[in-house]
Structure 1
Amino acid sequence: MFRFQMTSTWGFCIHIVVLLILNIIEIQCNVNDFKPHKSQANVGFSGNMQNDYSFQVSLQLRGSHVCSGALITMRHVLTAAHCVYEVKPSGYNDLLDPLQLEVVAGTWDKLNCNPRGQSRLAMEIIAHEGYSPDRESMDHDIAIVKVLEDFYVSAQVIPIALHEGNATGGEICHSSGWGVTHSHGLVSRYLSNVLLPLWTYKRCQIRYGSGLTDNMVCAGSGHKKGVCQGESGAPLICEGELVGVMSWGFGCISTTFPTIFTNLTQYAEWIEDNAFSSTNNLQYHMSISYLLVSYVLYYLYVSK
């Protein structure tokens, strides 16, 4: 009986210790989960597209670039919702099959010829529930793409911090992507950027009228510099932080109409719920570890 009790006691303890070790490993993974940083990209462009835009990703469908996006954790990408719907001849657009979508990070060359680039298949696509796939409105044009396997941190792959507070207008921001560099031009193979002053909401509403909502922010230079075809989902960066993702606009590099970006400040809670909360569970794992240790101590005490 004594030998059996010892065997049972130690078997139980070993089982609990194994669970505890696995939980500690999970804690360590969450502690070391790389946090978003402010972008080091300089307003005025330093010329180092590879390192300055380490948050930039290319979303590719069947090997072809379709949209840009911004890495906000090592597994989550923010982009425009209209980027993740497949256009159907019937007019009804379906959400893309995640496994058809490839996310390329860490390269200024969208063909990923850079050996330091990283490529991941998408695992899950979360489009905002308020977005209209038939594009009756471009409101709530935001989506999160979760990759199948985490990117690893390097000088070329670093998530960007989200902007806190409202962008009021007047700031000099910038955007980057692989779109056409001039009207009727070809889509660029290499990442490029442009400076874009932020417009006030009132000034932008004069241009766009009722098409503009509080969930949008406008940016454009008015000097034939702006965002063009192929730039959907492109990040808008102000003071090193992510303010928006490119949504829509009139014309290409218009001197009259600014580009419309989804205003991410309006979606802070939605982004938190769908990206950050799933990775910030350290307190949960600590609680489980405490509970497991308590069980071990209690079992050893009552088995004396």
Structure 2
Amino acid sequence: MCFDLQFTLHLVILYFVLGHVCSAETSERIVGGSAVTQKKYRYYVRLHNQGQFMCGGSLVRNNAVLTAAHCVKGTNVKALRIHADTIRLSDAGVVRSVKNALVSKSYNGGILNYDVAVLILSSAIPSSSFTAIPLNKKAVTSGTSCLVIGHGYTTEDGAVAQVLQEVWVPVINRATCQHKYRGVGTITGYMMCASVPGKKDSCGGDSGGPMICNGQQAGIVSWGKGCAQVKYPGVYTDVSKVYDFIEKVLAQYP
């Protein structure tokens, strides 16, 4: 299925603004999952830029969203909108503008290290339309099965999913992931990896969305080589490693 030309052009512009090139080999996505038919993940939100869907995110408070830095770095905050309480791209849900988009000085767009951002919304999401996701403070044990949700591609060369998708993937040992990506990309101490090789993974459009382990958000969809490739697992920002930054921002913007 061909990807919408306007959206593709917008993606290319965004990636150049962010300082790295979007290619078919480096993406963020959900493959091998299933459609979400009920609004059971009330913390999930969509991030739109100038009216176009770009990334996912999660509500950690009624007026604060956690997402990936590469989704917002270099963008015009006034053009950003958050869509909450919806599982279909065709549904607007509860919409809020973004007042502040905070990215750590430690963020490195070249290798997507410290790929985390906190968005402070213009006004709170009604309590009837969301449930905040608690954040994980400790490293997740390898082998732990974790939930990833998003509207990303369902195949490597596909298109965004019109209905929210969910998939369960096991966490992969960081040393193992570093070995797999040797010569291809850098797996730092601020990253974690997960996938079912060749079968289940995140994909393009899932960026910024949450990885939930043991009922808490442990990761943020960040990057990867291809989608659901046998050799290369998906790479996520390790929330336990950037937790202090998140809490500092939330304390500054109550």
TM-score tier, shorter chain, comes to 0.7 to 0.9
- Unaligned 5+ segments in structure 1 are 1-44, 86-94, 280-304
Contact kept, 8 Å, 2:35 with 2:165, in 1: the verdict is: no
Quote the residue 2:101 is aligned against.
Answer: 125
Structure that is richer in strand per residue: 2
Contact kept, 8 Å, 2:36 with 2:165, in 1: the verdict is: no
Contact kept, 8 Å, 2:195 with 2:233, in 1: the verdict is: yes
Quote the residue 1:238 is aligned against.
Answer: 213
CA-based RMSD = 1.8
Deviation of the 1:151 alpha carbon: 0.5
TM-score when scaled to structure 1?
A: 0.69
Structure that is richer in helix per residue: 1
Equivalent position SS for 1:104? strand
Q: Deviations over 1:281-302 (max 9, x none)?
A: xxxxxxxxxxxxxxxxxxxxxx
- Asked if 1:51 corresponds to 2:26, the answer is no
Contact kept, 8 Å, 2:224 with 2:233, in 1: the verdict is: yes
Provide the rounded CA distance (Å) in 2 between the counterparts of 1:175 and 1:253: 13
Map 1:1-304 onto structure 2 (within 5 A). Answer: 49-85=37-73, 95-112=74-91, 117-132=93-108, 135-154=109-128, 156-209=129-182, 211-276=186-251, 278-279=253-254
Q: Deviations over 1:220-246 (max 9, x none)?
A: 011421111111112101011100111
TM-score when scaled to structure 2?
A: 0.82
Q: Deviations over 1:118-176 (max 9, x none)?
A: 100011110111113xx32211111111110111112x411100012111211000101
Provide the rounded CA distance (Å) in 2 between the counterparts of 1:47 and 1:103: 21
Deviation of the 1:206 alpha carbon: 1.2
Quote the residue 2:27 is aligned against.
Answer: none
Provide the rounded CA distance (Å) in 2 between the counterparts of 1:246 and 1:228: 9
Provide the rounded CA distance (Å) in 2 between the counterparts of 1:63 and 1:119: 11
Provide the rounded CA distance (Å) in 2 between the counterparts of 1:47 and 1:153: 25
Q: Deviations over 1:26-59 (max 9, x none)?
A: xxxxxxxxxxxxxxxxxxx997554321110000
Identity of aligned residues (%): 30
Provide the rounded CA distance (Å) in 1 between the counterparts of 2:156 and 2:253: 42
Provide the rounded CA distance (Å) in 2 between the counterparts of 1:49 and 1:100: 29
Q: Deviations over 1:154-206 (max 9, x none)?
A: 2x411100012111211000101001111211211110111110111121111
Q: Deviations over 1:254-285 (max 9, x none)?
A: 12211000001011111111014543xxxxxx
Aligned residues between the structures: 220
Equivalent position SS for 2:142? coil
The one of the two structures with greater contact order (alpha-carbon pairs below 8 A, sep at least 6) is: 2
Select the structure of larger CA radius of gyration. Answer: 1
